[in-house]
């Protein structure tokens, strides 16, 4: 199948090329993101393969359809950046990669959590600078703490298992989950926020979950709580988060995602002035760690994402049932 792949980096091209080693599909890799200007580059292709920060709103999907694209393959789990109703109306089939190893994101949650609880980045930079003082770096244990998980899906469940391994009490908030194990309490969100020492967000971004963590809910967090967001940036009201950080009420904040990340994440801005005052302010807090939407970024996940995406292309071409079909 002729497919154009948007927003690719070396690691994407390598993983997809390895998964396509037998040359089944003709893949064209582009650096640019998919948006209204770049959609015309998909002309003449059967499929467009897109990622988390590509724009797949109605006008873009209309251009894709007009150019002959019949399949959009999201090489990610989330699809909040795609207008599914418009795709259906235009006769474009949409597939995602709903389940690649949830351990990739789940383990990143603990990379962030432990880095914050034990001040690892500050400790490393002090020692590198020849400063062996540990003043101000007293940490706290994860063992014995209450770990709150918002969204008890594939990733949330793996996070729960790891948290239990650390000796945490696990509480969750998921209005759609009924089958929790006996030792997992499914609490109203407000109760989870008030009781948890660490809160980790794993619900999808929907109109209902946008700014799920707003000023009122941030005020419910325990003094010294750690907030981790590896879900989607807009689950948290960033301006409200900044006010809470300024009041120095939180123990730490780990963000793998940011509301306005698409302009910055996956791009080298190190030689430029950062034109986003909110992101720039976030980066000034010593208790905040930001990573560039890399929770998934493991060799294992990239290989699985590539294989699942290309399998969907093959199944679509063969007219077979699509396991990961959205529309």
Tell me the β-bridge partners of 50.
74
Q: Which of 151, 233, 251, 252 binds ligand NAI (CB under 6 A)?
A: 151
H helical segments located in the chain: 10-19, 58-66, 84-89, 103-117, 120-128, 154-165, 189-195, 215-218, 238-246, 277-282, 299-317
Is residue 303 part of the contact set for ligand NAI (CB under 6 A)? no
- Tell me if residue 232 is catalytic: yes
| b/e 273-292 (16+ beta carbons within 10 angstroms → b) | eeebeebeebeebeebbbbe
Q: Given the residues 157, 202, 232, 311, select the one marked as catalytic.
A: 232
In angstroms, the first-to-last Cα distance of the chain is 19
Is residue 208 part of the contact set for ligand NAI (CB under 6 A)? yes
Q: Given the residues 261, 262, 304, 311, select the one marked as catalytic.
A: 261
- Tell me if residue 103 is catalytic: no
- Tell me if residue 293 is catalytic: yes
Is residue 20 part of the contact set for ligand NAI (CB under 6 A)? no
- Which parts of 83-122 interact with ligand NAI (CB under 6 A)? 102, 105
Is residue 150 part of the contact set for ligand NAI (CB under 6 A)? yes
Q: How far apart are CA 327 and CA 322, in angstroms?
A: 10
HSE value, Cβ hemisphere, 13 Å, CA-based, for 8: 20
Contact range with ligand NAI by CB under 6 A, out of 26-34, 59-67, 230-238, 264-272: 230-238
Contact range with ligand NAI by CB under 6 A, out of 42-50, 60-68, 196-204, 277-285: 196-204
83 vs 174, beta carbon nearer ligand NAI = 174
Q: How far apart are CA 304 and CA 247, in angstroms?
A: 42
Contact range with ligand NAI by CB under 6 A, out of 88-96, 160-168, 224-232, 266-274: 224-232
Is residue 204 part of the contact set for ligand NAI (CB under 6 A)? yes
Q: Which residue is nearest to ligand NAI (CB)?
A: 153
Cβ contacts of 38-43, under 8 Å, gap ≥ 24: 38/6, 39/63, 39/64, 39/67, 40/67, 41/4, 42/4, 42/67, 42/69, 43/67, 43/68
Question: Would you say the C-alpha torsion 208, 104, 283, 152 has a positive or negative sign?
Answer: positive
Q: Which of 54, 174, 261, 304 binds ligand NAI (CB under 6 A)?
A: 174
Rounded to the nearest whole angstrom, what is the least distance from the CB of residue 305 to ligand NAI in the complex? 10
123 vs 194, beta carbon nearer ligand NAI = 194
Is residue 81 part of the contact set for ligand NAI (CB under 6 A)? no
- Which parts of 34-73 interact with ligand NAI (CB under 6 A)? none
Q: How far apart are CA 312 and CA 19, in angstroms?
A: 12
Asked if 314 contacts 1 with a C-beta cutoff of 8 angstroms, the reply is: yes
Q: How far apart are CA 214 and CA 277, in angstroms?
A: 19
Is residue 155 part of the contact set for ligand NAI (CB under 6 A)? yes
- Which parts of 249-288 interact with ligand NAI (CB under 6 A)? 256-257
Residues that bind ligand NAI (CB under 6 A): 77-78, 102, 105, 150-156, 173-177, 202-205, 208-209, 230-232, 256-257, 293, 295-296
Query: So which residues are the catalytic ones?
Result: 232, 261, 293
């Amino acid at each position: 199948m002729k497919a154009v792949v948007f927003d690719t980096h070396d690691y994407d091209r390598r993983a997809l090329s390895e998964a396509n080693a037998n040359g089944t599909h003709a893949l064209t890799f582009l650096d640019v993101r998919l948006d209204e200007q770049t959609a015309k580059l998909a002309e003449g292709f059967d499929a467009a393969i897109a990622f988390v920060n590509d724009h797949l709103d109605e006008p873009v999907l209309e251009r894709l359809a007009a150019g002959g694209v019949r399949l959009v393959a999201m090489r990610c789990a989330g699809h909040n950046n795609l207008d599914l109703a418009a795709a259906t109306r235009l006769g474009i089939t949409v597939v995602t990669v709903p389940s690649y190893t949830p351990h990739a994101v789940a383990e990143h949650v603990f990379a962030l959590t432990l880095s914050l609880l034990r001040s690892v980045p500050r400790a490393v930079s002090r020692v590198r600078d020849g400063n062996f003082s540990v003043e101000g770096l007293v940490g706290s244990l994860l063992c014995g703490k209450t770990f709150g998980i918002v969204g008890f899906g594939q990733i949330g469940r793996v996070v729960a298992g790891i948290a239990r391994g650390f000796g945490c009490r696990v509480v969750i908030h998921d209005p759609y989950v009924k089958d929790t194990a006996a030792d997992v309490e499914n609490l109203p969100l407000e109760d989870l926020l008030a009781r948890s020492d660490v809160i980790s967000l794993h619900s999808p971004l929907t109109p209902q979950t946008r700014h799920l963590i707003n000023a009122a809910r941030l005020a419910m967090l325990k003094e010294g709580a750690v907030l981790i967001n590896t879900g989607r940036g807009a689950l948290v009201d960033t301006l409200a988060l900044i006010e809470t950080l300024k009041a120095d009420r939180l123990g730490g904040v780990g963000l793998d995602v940011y509301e306005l990340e698409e302009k910055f994440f996956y791009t080298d801005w190190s030689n430029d002035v950062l034109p986003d005052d909110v992101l720039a302010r976030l980066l000034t807090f010593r208790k905040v760690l930001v990573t560039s939407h890399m929770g998934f970024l493991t060799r294992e996940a990239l290989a699985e994402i590539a294989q699942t995406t290309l399998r969907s292309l093959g199944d679509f071409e063969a007219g077979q049932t699509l396991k990961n079909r959205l529309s």
